[in-house]
Every structure is written in structure tokens, then in C-alpha cells.
Amino acid sequence: MNLVDIEELTVRYGKRPVLDRVSFAVPEGSVYVLVGRNGAGKSSLVRCLLGEQRPDSGRALLLGGDAWRERARLLRGVGVVPEEPDAPPAMTARQLGRFCSGLYSSWDGAGLSGRLERFGVPDDVAFGQLSKGQKGHVLLSLCLAGSPRLLVLDDPTLGLDPVARRAVFDELIVDLSERGTTVFLTSHDLAGVEGIADRIGLLQAGRLAVDEEMETLKQRFRKLRVPGADGPAPEWSRAVEALRPVSATTRAWGWEAVVSAWDEDRPPSGLPESVEVSALTLEEIFLSMAAIPGEAAR
């Protein structure tokens, strides 16, 4: 079963479409990460998914129901951590826990206390007096204590220091291994999400340029380097084109390109013997694709 189904979702601000017929699904038990540059449409999509914004066309299904029409019922099974953590500023984490415990049929109070302790967040300090990172940790702890079927995280590590960011992803890894929680996550922290994502989506100019399994994406991208070359020579340029290059650069030491159709089981023929082939991180893949049109990235 899919816990999220985005179907031909379109959102316009004036005449400009910020989301243009976007479709993808998040199966139960998986971690789907949506990435994209600022202004790509991630926040608009999250608002539609949570029933906070009505799309111009298409629909967002949450736990099998229409998020706009059935928001109150559907959100009972969803935990949400927004980009800007928000809660009553005078309430402590302990008080927030007592309040939230009455809203969920299954509440893990011990788990909440344990997470706050691991995060190093005091449970007796007013929410408004906590740092941004501590506020995010409180909301994530509260969400997980409610045992949600789906966890929606909208760039939860934005503005956090490296230690706080690592703590968020470490906690998610623990929870995923123990309960298999389904997660839909938007993020700019590509290094952090690379270790937990099952599937990756890339929004470019309002369109979904990539929607595939993380490992499949990483397997088909490679960096080629040819020392001493100032570009593809005629005798091997056709082999490079067959690998669907998404970027190419001439440097002082030679020529390099990022290709998107590498097949480890069927290495291409025709490349020069001096070529150096290396794998890329998710961040390197994103940077190589960020400057090209969405259709070229498919």
C-alpha cells in the first residue's frame, strides 16, 4: 500500500506553475526523499500533501484519502515536523508530552523521554527558550512518540549545526530499523539523507526530473576523467554520448564529464584507455544535474 500518492499535482501562483503535473508514490515502510533547489516547489507540495493548500489540479492522497477533503481524519496517523519548529512557547517538553498523549491511541511516553535524553534536550525548559535545534528535536520526539504510520519532515535539519543534524538522522535510522516507519522527507542535506533514503525525487523548475531508487540512481551516474584531453576526441565521442552526459568541463589537467547511463554489468567500449571512472555521492549527482533542464535529467 502507498501511504502517499501524488497524482498529476499542479500548483500555480498567478500564471506561473510552481508544480507542473507532478506524480510519485511512497510505499508503506519506505523512505522517500524529495530534493531540489530553493523555489523548486518542495514546500508547496508538502502543503498540498498535508491538506493546507488546495492544488490547482491533480490531487494529493494521504494514507489513501484525499488530503484536502479529509485532512482532519487523515492527519491522526501522521507525524509532522515543519521547517520552522512551532509549539506553545510557554510549555515545556514534558508538558507538551502530557498534552499530546491524550491525542493518540498509542503513546510511547518512555520513548519520548529516551529521545529527549539522547538529544540532550531538557524537558523542564519552556519551548520558547530552546534553540532551533532543540525545538526540532522536541517535535521529532513528540511525533515518534505518537507511533505514526507516516512521518512527514520538511527540511528538518535546515539551519542546524553538524552535531544536531547528525543526531536527527541517527535517531531516524534507529526508529526505521525498529519500527519500519514510513518517511517522506524534503531536505537540502544530501549527505545526511543519502544513508537513509530508499527512493529519491528531484524537482527542477516544478517538474519531477528524477523519481527512482537511490541505489539505482547512484549506479547509473559516473564521473569520467581523461588526463591531457581538452574534450572528447572523434574516435571516442560517440561512446561518451551513448552514456548520456549531463555535464562536461575542460580543466588544466584534462577533461571530465558526469554521465547518467553507466551500466556496471556492461562496460562501454570505445572509451580511451586513459579514462578514469569513479562513483559519485548524491550531492555530486545533484550538483551535476542542477543546472540542466528537467527533461534532460530523466
Cβ-contact 34, 186 below 8 angstroms = yes
Could you read off the pLDDT of 11-61 as tens digits, one per residue? 999 988 999 999 999 999 999 999 998 888 999 999 999 999 999 999 999
The enclosing H or E element of 72 equals helix 71-74
d(C-alpha 187, C-alpha 210), whole Å: 15
Rg (CA), the chain: 22
The pair phi, psi for residue 139, each rounded to 5°, is -65, -40
pLDDT over 70, % of the chain: 97
Is this prediction's pTM over 0.85? Answer: yes
The enclosing H or E element of 40 equals none
Mean pLDDT of the chain: 91
Residue 99 to residues 30, 105, 109, 131, Cα–Cα distance (Å)? 29, 13, 11, 21
Q: What share of the chain is helix, strand, coil (3-state, %, to 5)?
A: 35, 30, 35
Region 244-260 average pLDDT: 94
pLDDT at 167: 87
Residue 190 to residues 3, 58, 133, 233, 240, Cα–Cα distance (Å)? 23, 29, 18, 34, 27
Could you read off the pLDDT of 178-218 as tens digits, one per residue? 777 899 999 988 988 998 899 999 999 889 999 999 999 99
Nearest to 55 by CA among 98, 7, 92, 88: 7
Of residues 84 and 126, more confidence is placed in 126
Can you tell me which residue has the cell 554521465?
259
Strands (E) across 28-149 are located at 31-36, 57-62, 65-66, 78-81
Cell of 120: 540532550
Amino acid at 213: E
Cβ-contact 282, 214 below 8 angstroms = yes
